[in-house]
Amino acid sequence: MSELLNRRLALLGERANLSLLEQCLHGIERECLRVTSEGRLAQTPHPEALGSALTNEQITTDYSESLLEFITPALPDPADTLASLDKIHRFAYSKLGSEYLWSPSMPCPLPAEEDIPIAYYGTSNIGQLKYVYRKGLALRYGKTMQCIAGIHYNFSLPEKLWPLLKEAEGFVGTDRDFQSSSYIALIRNFRRYSWLLMYLFGASPALDAGFLRGRSHQLEQLDPDTLYLPYATSLRMSDLGYQSNAQAGLTPCYNDLASYTDSLRKAVATPYPPYVEVGTHQDGEWVQLNTNILQIENEYYSNIRPKRVTYTGERPIQALVARGIQYVEVRCLDINPFLPMGIDLTESRFLDAFLLYCALNDSPLLTNNSCGNATSNFLSVVKEGRRLGLQLQRDGQPVELKVWAAELLEQIAPLAALLDQSHGGDAHSKALDTQLAKVKDPSLTPSAQVLAAMAEHKESFAQFSLRQSQAHAEFFRSEPLKPEEQAKFEEVARSSLAAQAELEQNEVGDFDVFVGSYQASILAISN
């Protein structure tokens, strides 16, 4: 274990500092498609009973009108975060009629590309901006790709922890600079080790054959309706998922916050010839917000993002530049189709220990070589992570996945123990033991279990997924919310609809001007 990590563990283990780790914050965003009782994409509008997708902070839509997104508050105890997510699911199910929430990450059998509905947010300028942005995504990447769902895990370390470490380490600079550089260091380590999360939690080894729309691929046919790779963990995170030629040259450097925000700012301001050719308008209608590499910074697709809560009308990069990094958003987690919410407390407890390890361990800058290795390790694991003897690259040397994974878990164990010491009990250490069992026996991984369940029931991917979706619906519907909880959700939904109506009634200014000033806001930032 590194000297730095040892020193930090000792400091946080002191009695005066131990309670700090109870103040980490956890938020979850869970995406899922609404499907019909036959397991087809729901073509219905976003249910009004769920409130306004524009202004309801708990229930919105992501890309498609059918792609729901459930958002919890950020809470100190992940058990409370999951309880909040559970309630959102129960409320949603009280309003879904005969529709289901699709259980895995990879989509149900989809209609023709042009029949996938794009999420609509009403007539306000900000609502239209969100809609045109999605039209741009359809144009750039196709609608099919945008129907993939995932779980985003938001995590922050306590604000009081940074000055403590900064002082102990004699960092020269402001508290904010230290906090931001520490989060960037976490992100670098996450890039090095996130292949481990793909092995442990990847749950998309197969997909509906129609998903590829006849494109060439290296997948194998499992049955007439299903494609798969025998040792894959997460086809969702492979190059079959979301990919973009325009973004290929864009690898924001995680050496410091300034270089990261700078590379995104350039991408939002640099024209990309194929998009320029299309233009922003067709037949007098907006088709994309601009013709640049990225329309907005959120279009950049990455496994983890540095984040800061934004003020009204503020852009993500503006918030980061002005006030530094506040938390990280882990974006590579598959939805586990065996779990009603797609994630459980064991996974959450392990993620906390893993992210704490990434935050407190040494994190040298990523050279071009180590950056390339991190990417290729990740891609190897998503496509063949369960293959016996799979080799990854570590410090320029080949190392067996199983060996490296066991060593990493051993290094994470003291952080799990420290979290347990802080919270009482042994939940984090137990969560780590559960992961170690998966390293020793690949058949325990979610990806292996998906293939095993399909084989056992002689089901296609779509049949398996619908069966799981029905089971989860039964789980949520069998125990409705308490009347007062239901009433609270109904009130939030109603007031969100009123808030959207008010926005639309009081809208001033022309949409074209609004887009222009939105574009200009990014160019005005100076690092």
Range 3-114+144-237+326-501 has CATH code 3.30.590.20: yes
Q: Distance (Å, rounded) from C-alpha 489 to C-alpha 87?
A: 9
Average pLDDT over residues 15-24: 96
Q: Distance (Å, rounded) from C-alpha 129 to C-alpha 313?
A: 12
pLDDT band per the 50, 70, 90 thresholds, residue 504 = very high
pLDDT band per the 50, 70, 90 thresholds, residue 244 = low
Asked whether the beta carbons of 32 and 101 are under 8 A apart, the reply is yes
Q: Distance (Å, rounded) from C-alpha 347 to C-alpha 354?
A: 10
pLDDT band per the 50, 70, 90 thresholds, residue 239 = confident
Asked whether the beta carbons of 323 and 141 are under 8 A apart, the reply is no
Count Cβ atoms below 10 Å from residue 492 Cβ, excluding itself. Answer: 17
Asked whether the beta carbons of 345 and 78 are under 8 A apart, the reply is yes
Q: Distance (Å, rounded) from C-alpha 100 to C-alpha 103?
A: 9
Q: What are the tens digits of pLDDT across the range 28-76?
A: 999 999 999 999 999 999 999 999 999 999 999 999 999 999 999 999 9
pLDDT above 90 covers a percentage of the chain that reads: 90
Average pLDDT over residues 215-244: 89
Q: What are the tens digits of pLDDT across the range 127-162?
A: 999 999 999 999 999 999 999 999 999 999 999 999
pLDDT band per the 50, 70, 90 thresholds, residue 527 = very low
pLDDT at residue 372 in the model: 85
Element (H, E) at 304: strand 304-307
Q: What are the tens digits of pLDDT across the range 204-228?
A: 999 999 999 988 899 999 999 999 9
Structural domain spans, the chain:
3-114+144-237+326-501
Burial annotation 9-29 (CB, 10 A radius, 16+ → b, else e): bebbeeeebeebbeebbbbbb
Q: What are the tens digits of pLDDT across the range 273-321?
A: 999 999 999 999 999 999 999 999 999 989 999 999 999 888 999 999 9
pLDDT at residue 192 in the model: 96
- DSSP H helices in 25-160: 78-93, 125-141
Average pLDDT over residues 416-439: 98
Q: Is the pTM of this model over 0.85?
A: yes
Least confident of 176-185, 257-266, 374-383: 257-266
